[in-house]
Amino acid sequence: MKNQHEVIAKLEQFGVKPSLQRIAIMDYLMNNLVHPTVDTVFSSLSASIPTLSKTTVYSTLKLLAQQGAVLELNIDDKNVRYDANISRHAHFRCKFCGSVHDLPLASLDAVAVETAGKFVITESQLYCKGYCDSCKDKAESVARSA
Ligand SMILES: [Zn+2]
Ligand SMILES: [Zn+2]
């Protein structure tokens, strides 16, 4: 578990003023690396912070992403997901249960792209989709019966 001291240090490192609500949201992200959505963060924290609004969660997550403290993932077409792990890694989304997992990148060469000096890449995400370990058998039997 990351303690509150580390959470505050992380916010300050990325130039985010550590208010109580921002600390709570960053704390949640750093201790729940399941790529939560705005709704997940809000419903997990609203019991302990009754004054927290969904709008605050939304704007705080946007701010954290903009400052580079968290990654914003568009792997899920319905919901943006957030990740406190900002090291380079790929993501995998299960088409059956919707869970999002981290995949280590074998090497940066694996996703090397040729820009020919034309483009300046400021961010990139590698998304993989398929069936997770606990769904692959179920997904296969659904496919067979279809
Ligand atoms: Zn799954
Ligand atoms: Zn991740």
CATH code of the domain containing 97: 3.30.1490.190
**74 and 105 housed in the same domain:** no
Task: Give the model's confidence band at 38: pLDDT under 50 very low, under 70 low, under 90 confident, else very high.
Answer: very high
Give the rounded distance of the alpha carbon of 37 from its chain centre: 8
**26 and 64 housed in the same domain:** yes
- pLDDT score of 55 more than 90: yes
pLDDT at 117: 84
The residue among 126, 132, 122 whose CA lies nearest residue 95 is 132
Ligand 1 centre distance from Cα of residue 85 (Å): 21
CATH code of the domain containing 27: 1.10.10.10
pLDDT at 113: 78
Range of the domain at 39: 4-81
**50 and 104 housed in the same domain:** no
- pLDDT score of 110 more than 80: no
**97 and 137 housed in the same domain:** yes
pLDDT in tens, 122-138: 888 889 999 999 999 98
pLDDT at 107: 66
pLDDT at 122: 81
In angstroms, rounded to a whole number, what is the distance separating the alpha carbons of residues 135 and 146? 16
- How many domains in the chain? 2
pLDDT at 12: 97
In angstroms, rounded to a whole number, what is the distance separating the alpha carbons of residues 81 and 86? 13
Residues less than 5 Å from ion ligand 1, measured at CB:
94, 96-97, 132, 135
Among the bound ligands, the one closest to the CA of 90:
2
**76 and 94 housed in the same domain:** no
**53 and 94 housed in the same domain:** no
**What average pLDDT does the chain have?**
91
Please tell me what DSSP assigns to residue 27: H
- For residues 27 and 4, is the Cβ–Cβ distance under 8 A? yes
Q: Identify the helix (H) or strand (E) that includes residue 105.
A: none
In angstroms, rounded to a whole number, what is the distance separating the alpha carbons of residues 90 and 108? 11
Cα dist from 68 to 24, 62, 65, whole Å = 18, 10, 5
Ligand 2 centre distance from Cα of residue 79 (Å): 15
Query: What percentage of residues in the chain have a pLDDT greater than 90?
Result: 71
Q: Last residue of a domain, which of 30, 56, 81? A: 81
Among the bound ligands, the one closest to the CA of 36:
2
Q: Which pTM value belongs to this model?
A: 0.86
